[in-house]
Structure 1
Amino acid sequence: MRTAARPCVHMRENGPVTSATRRPETPASTVPPRLIATDLDGTLLRDDKSVSERTIAALAAAEQAGIEVFFVTGRPARWMDVVSEHVHGHGLAICGNGAAVVDLHGGPGAHRFVKIREFAPGIALDVIQLLRSAAPGTVCAVERTYGLHLEPEYPSLHMEPPETIAPAEKLLAEDALDADQPVLKVLAYHPEMDPDGFLTVARLAIGDRANVTRSSPSALLEISGPGVSKASTLALCCAERGISHEEVVAFGDMPNDVEMLTWAGQSYAMGNAHPEVIAAASGRTVANNEDGVAVVIEQMLAERL
């Protein structure tokens, strides 16, 4: 993936950006934006999972100004009802950390898969075995297009009941339930390890066999097929539209956003962002609960006028 050159941006040295300073720290750019790519949880959504009226208005104003808006999230397609009613123009979302592109126009429960970047079951099982060897005690779940499948020891971390409970070897077998549905990602949980430490161990053990990241405050990893990430799928979607990375403005808060923020011409870490995200982004805005995405969009549109 191509990496945008970074202008020098002076960050505040006294902690997170707060509502006391409403103007975001803005990266210098002479290229008018054509697409906004925003993460959801911890970024566009407030902590109560709502979308504020201010943010709804800002997204609509961006679309009216001819700027496309892409939701780019680790969530599966079936968890996208939280923003389905707020789509305006194209209504597309990148889900599963880049594993799927979904059309949200059908409304809740009627989302249509436009593109799927499958995680081959055989490679997924190899990756799980490598991770178990490196971090004993790891338990896993398998995310397919229409459902979640868990190992027996996997905790109740998600907002839906599993389709199947069985060892990973059976969940990924050729005759597994829903084997006709592509695997989008594997979730790996460790009950004792530090989240960032678990991520480091997993990346060293797995190497380039898969893409490993995280977005949860717990030791929960999200593992996709090799080369599959928010950034790589966003790049594919932009290429189809003739949009360069310099014309993209991206927002995020967790390690699964880092590649996307590095790739985009302009990028913003939320005021509540993980340190790796702050280091990767070219700018910074206020926290998700203070409508940090809307703050930047409003300023961006005002500057265009």
Structure 2
Amino acid sequence: MTQPAPRPRLIATDLDGTLLCQGGSVSPRTAAALAAAERAGLQVVFVTGRPPRWMQLLSEHIGGHGVAICSNGGAIVDVRQERLLESFPLTAPAAAQVVDRVRAALPGTAFAFEYPAGFSREPGYQVGMWGDDEPHSVAPAEELLAAEAADCYKILAKHPELAPDDFLARARAAVGPLAEITRSSPIALIEVSAAGVTKASTLARWCAGHGIAREEVVAFGDMPNDLEMLAWAGTSYAVANAHPEVLAAVAQHTVSNEDDGVARVIERLVGSL
């Protein structure tokens, strides 16, 4: 006899390209769906590649706990209190080796680094997203890592010429098991975390601390940095605009982020409880 599926207890959703509309806004329908999920007793956790400094605009939608998993699992953050609860940094030798190996294999790569206190970057790493106008150090990677490598929980790397998926594949080949490498941007930007640190690993840690089984988790995503989380969760959805690799890996799909794909699934879940 087939056992009924466990009642969902937690919704884990990526943000950009998944939950949010173009430009990073929350649509009225999505805001209403998130609020309804919370009222129904479903915990909503944002699991994002964004660093903590890009989360404040979403604080009103984050739910009763106020916590998000940021930087692809590299940090757990209380968004409302603007407080880092836990981080999972690369070791100083691993961070230095990642830079050396990627630079040797892919000349022209420029690096930036995320820390609990903010970020730093090389002169060749161009910034342009919100939140990056705050004061930060600019110097060669070796100098930046010498100063703060022990606290670095995410390395970012940009290449001026390579196609995004090519950059990702070649960087992974160069680095091997030394660190986790993924991407979530439409440009040639890769994101590096400590070995074993992914959205899935930190979400699993959060769920274990709250007595939530993976079978009770419903996850949503759109890019390669979501793949581990989507594979780990008991139920997963890819939005229609997702990367082809994500669409191929995830059996259940919903409509695009611009058409409130996550909200539509949440509405059905809440209606079935």
When normalised by structure 2's length, the TM-score is 0.95
| Distance in structure 1 (CA, Å) of the matches to 2:118 and 2:129 | 12
Note the C-alpha offset of 1:224.
0.6
| Counterpart residue number, 2:106 | 135
The residue number in structure 2 matching 1:214 is 183
**Structure 2 counterpart of 1:243, which letter?**
I
- The residue matched to 2:84 in structure 1 has which SS? strand
Note the residue ranges of structure 1 that are not aligned, 5 or more in a row: 1-27
User: 1:196 — aligned with what?
Assistant: 165
1:172 to 120, 145, 151: 145
User: Match of 2:17, SS?
Assistant: helix
Instruction: Give the counterpart of 1:163 among 133, 136, 139.
Output: 136
C-alpha deviation, 1:223, in angstroms: 0.3
2:251 corresponds to which of 273, 279, 282: 282
Cα distance, 1:290–1:243 mapped onto 2, change above 3 Å: same
Correspondence list, 1:212-291, <5 A? 212-291=181-260
In the comparison of the two structures, how many residue pairs are matched? Answer: 269
Does residue 41 (structure 1) correspond to residue 41 (structure 2)? The answer is no
Residues of 1 paired with 2:214 and 2:241: CA distance?
Answer: 25
Q: Distance in 2 between matches of 1:202 and 1:180?
A: 20
Task: Give the 3-state SS of the residue equivalent to 2:167 in structure 1.
Answer: helix
1:118 offset after TM fit, Å? 1.2
Q: Conserved in 2, the CA contact under 8 Å of 1:33 and 1:249?
A: yes
1:158 & 1:51 partners in 2: Cα distance?
Answer: 18
Deviation at 1:299, TM superposition (A): 0.8
Structure 1 runs (4+) deviating above 2 angstroms are: 156-159
User: What is the aligned partner in structure 1 of residue 118 from structure 2?
Assistant: 147
Question: Cα offset for 1:49?
Answer: 1.1
The residue type equivalent to 1:123 in the other structure is A
Q: Tell me, in whole angstroms, the C-alpha distance in 2 between the residues paired with 1:139 and 1:47.
A: 27
Superposed displacement of residue 125, structure 1:
1.0
> Secondary structure of 1:44's match?
coil
* Map 1:3-42 → 2, pairs under 5 A: 30-42=5-17
Distance 2:194 2:128 in 1: 22
Give the whole-Å Cα distance in 2 for the aligned partners of 1:89 and 1:147: 26
Cα distance change, pair 88–78 in 1 and its aligned pair in 2 (3 A): same
Letter in 2 for 1:241: H
Counterpart Cα distance in 1 of 2:243 and 2:149: 37
RMSD value over aligned CA atoms?
1.5
What are the equivalent positions in structure 2 for 1:85-164 lying under 5 Å apart? 85-106=60-81, 111-159=82-130, 160-161=132-133, 163-164=136-137
Unaligned runs of 5+ in 2: none
Whole-angstrom CA distance in 2 between matches of 1:289 and 1:199? 26
Structure 1 position 55 matched with structure 2 position 23: no
Separation (CA, whole Å) in 2 of partners of 1:29 and 1:262: 20
Instruction: Give identity over the alignment, percent.
Output: 55
Give the distance between the partners of 1:196 and 1:29, measured in 2 at CA.
Answer: 39
Give deviations 1:271-298, integer Å, cap 9, x for gaps.
1100111122231001111111100000
Q: Tell me if the contact between 1:29 and 1:266 (Cα under 8 Å) persists in the aligned partners.
A: no
CA offset digits 1:242-294 (Å, max 9, x no partner) = 11111100001111001100111111101110011112223100111111110
